[in-house]
Amino acid sequence: MNKTILKTVLVSCFFILTACGGGGPEGATINFLESMYSGDFETAKQYATTDTKSMLSMLESFGAKDQFADKMKEADISFKVVETKIDGDTAVCTVKMSNSEGEDDQNMPISLEKIEGKWLVKMDKESMKKEGLDKADKETGNSDFEDQE
């Protein structure tokens, strides 16, 4: 009897955790964005491809880490995946970014790649421009972003 209850509780916990964004491209996307925008780049890197980790390190060296954290605190930014398109080992999650400052919500496409069974955010210079993340570099006064690969 006790084993049956324990198994039921464990299975329920598993489903609750996976339903809360722990799995799939949606969970990786939200975890990545919330970590990045709160300035926790080390956690964001756990949800990032190797190239994206390099981009985060570059942004961090430009001082963008603190800017993201400050912006998140000031504007109370929240993220919600509104659409997901999966094609084999690639996916694109469209994320609605909202804030408390009354600005219009923004939809951002976030590309992901499934590597060794895990969904990881895949950012490159082109996707950063689309998502407006290159502006963080320009705000710090670093003009080297355009020349970095």
Residue 14 lies in a domain: yes
pLDDT, residue 127, reads 59
Q: Does residue 116 lie within any of the structural domains?
A: yes
> Total structural domains in the chain?
1
Domain hosting residue 49, numbered range? 2-128
Q: Which of 75, 76, 112 is nearest to 94 (CA)?
A: 112
Residue 147 belongs to some domain of the structure: no
pLDDT score, position 61 = 87
pLDDT value, residue 74: 75
Threshold 0.85, pTM exceeds: no
The pLDDT of residue 104? 78
Query: How many degrees, rounded to 5, is the angle at CA 119 between CA 114 and CA 123?
Result: 85
pLDDT along the chain (149 residues), means of 10: 41 36 85 90 95 90 79 80 96 91 84 96 71 46 42
Domain presence at residue 95: yes
pLDDT of residue 121: 97
Looking from the CA of 109 toward its CB, the CA atoms found within 13 Å total 11
Q: What is the pLDDT of residue 60?
A: 85
Q: Could you tell me if residue 137 is inside a domain?
A: no
**142, part of any domain:** no
The answer as to whether 119 is a domain residue is: yes
What is the DSSP code string of 11-33?
HHHHHHHIIIIISHHHHHHHHHH
Domain with residue 22: its CATH number is: 3.10.450.50
Q: Is residue 149 part of a domain?
A: no
